[in-house]
Amino acid sequence: MYFPYLRGRQYELLALRELIENDRLSDNIIPIIEPVKITSTLLSTIKTFINNNKKMIIIRNPKVGNFIADSHTSKNKGIFESIQQVLCDSNIYSGIIIDDNSKENVNLLLSQRIPYSQMVALCLKGDSIDNWKSVFINNSPIYNIIPYSPSFRHIRKGRVMLDDKFDKLPRNSDYLNCDDEFFSDDHIYYEDDGYKGFSDYSIVGKEYANSGFAPYAVAIHIVYPTSISDKSLRIHHFVSDSNFGIDDPANKFYEALTKLVSWNKTKNLNTLAIRGFESMYRNETYPGLGVIKKLSIMHHIEWMGNYLDEVSKWFSVMNVSKMSK
């Protein structure tokens, strides 16, 4: 299982919705959403998962963004109450970031008739293990999201390793000096390491900022398998060249996009997002920076889902073969 950890920004939610609407989200993918805002897009995305019988994790005590603060304002009351109602659906797991308030948070979920089997613990700091024990030592959640570290060896059930695979540089133009690098092989070895699944922050990274800024350079980040036989992932950074000011982002995008389209003539990546990028190249359209990130996330999640589906099919064939002998 792959658990992409996203922050619930507009482009991240739309990426998930479009994957479902185009039947490109594998059942081996369970996204984790740490909501940063109360929006109609968040509500509609959750409903899309429910209506399509797909699983997702919504963190109930987000640590970044304005979700908690916004929940106390009158203008958000209606949407917030609607979100709270759909979170009780069986397709939605309730995530709890373990902290000093975990016992109160878990008791609140239990009072809402959400069982332990629909809870997910995110124990992200070594200092939080005692708090985890105080609520989950006798009643395990369905999954425990933990960093890849020996410090969390006490947590044995439903372990999912979380690691930030994206090397976020200070400026997009910095990727010109390192345009291709190793990304991850967790999808190959997570079971060997004793985990039920693996998690990362996709091509966005762990770092969160409330607001963006106009970049000097435009970058497109695309993951791809090392070779036909080696399914470890690398990431290629396609960066614009005219990076001396913030003017003309459309041209900067087309410079980066031209590199991507040329590169893919030999890689032959064929996800929904890659086809979207190629369509923009042919039509010379600029969708905006948010759509660029949306498509890059969509490509990563679809590729990972295709890989895990292939692995599942292989194991099914092997099991049938063993049973017939």
Averaged pLDDT for residues 196-204: 95
Task: Indicate the average pLDDT of the chain.
Answer: 92
Q: State which of 106, 132, 162 marks the end of a domain.
A: 162
Confidence of residue 254 (pLDDT cuts 50, 70, 90): very high
With respect to residue 90, please indicate whether it lies within any of the assigned structural domains: yes
With respect to residue 200, please indicate whether it lies within any of the assigned structural domains: no
My answer on whether 119 and 230 are in the same domain is: no
Averaged pLDDT for residues 234-261: 94
Q: Give the model confidence (pLDDT) of 38-81 as tens digits.
A: 999 999 999 999 999 999 999 999 999 888 888 888 888 899 99
Token pair recorded at residue 137: 């030592």
With respect to residue 187, please indicate whether it lies within any of the assigned structural domains: no
My answer on whether 107 and 3 are in the same domain is: yes
Q: Which domain holds residue 254?
A: 167-182+206-325
Q: Tell me the CATH number at 42.
A: 3.20.20
With respect to residue 193, please indicate whether it lies within any of the assigned structural domains: no
Q: Give the model confidence (pLDDT) of 20-36 as tens digits.
A: 999 999 999 999 999 99
My answer on whether 73 and 177 are in the same domain is: no
Q: How many domains does the chain have?
A: 2
With respect to residue 312, please indicate whether it lies within any of the assigned structural domains: yes
SS3 162: strand
SS3 217: coil
